[in-house]
């Protein structure tokens, strides 16, 4: 699959972005769609990098339900923080 995003704004300039499979292959003012591209008109929209949420609470699954009936700060200070302090990298 290939995709061309046209008329997007990047740092105040109109640009196009072309993607083939899972790679950006072209970005700039002179980029044109190739035959067979899906074309999206991004007029009035900003072109931004993909945003990835790398913040997770995977280790918290170990404590699911532990002190869950407590108010937030009491739960954190009295239950979660003491247990987290004992976790190792292998635990996480």
- Summarised one tens digit per residue, pLDDT across range 14-37 is 999 999 998 999 999 999 999 999
Residue 71, classed as helix, strand or coil, is coil
In the β-sheet with 2-10, what is the strand arrangement from edge to edge?
23-28, 13-20, 2-10, 38-41
pLDDT(67) > 90: no
Asked if residue 65 is part of any domain, the answer here is: yes
Q: How far apart are the first and last CA of the chain?
A: 37
Please indicate, yes or no, whether residues 10 and 35 belong to a single structural domain of this protein: yes
What's the CA gap between 20 and 87, in Å, rounded?
43
Asked if residue 52 is part of any domain, the answer here is: no
Domain count, the chain: 2
What does the pLDDT average to over 79-83? 90
Task: With 0.75 as the threshold, say if the pTM is over it.
Answer: no
pLDDT(58) > 90: no
Please indicate, yes or no, whether residues 37 and 6 belong to a single structural domain of this protein: yes
For residue 12, what are the domain limits? 2-41
């Amino acid at each position: 699959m290939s995709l061309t995003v046209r008329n997007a704004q990047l740092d105040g300039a109109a640009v196009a972005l072309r993607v083939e499979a899972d790679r950006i292959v072209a970005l700039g003012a002179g980029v044109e769609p190739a035959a067979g591209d899906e074309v999206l008109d991004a007029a009035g929209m900003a072109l931004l990098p993909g945003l990835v949420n790398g913040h997770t609470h995977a280790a918290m699954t170990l404590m699911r339900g532990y002190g869950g009936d407590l108010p937030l700060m009491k739960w954190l200070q009295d239950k979660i923080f003491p247990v987290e302090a004992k976790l190792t990298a292998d635990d996480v």
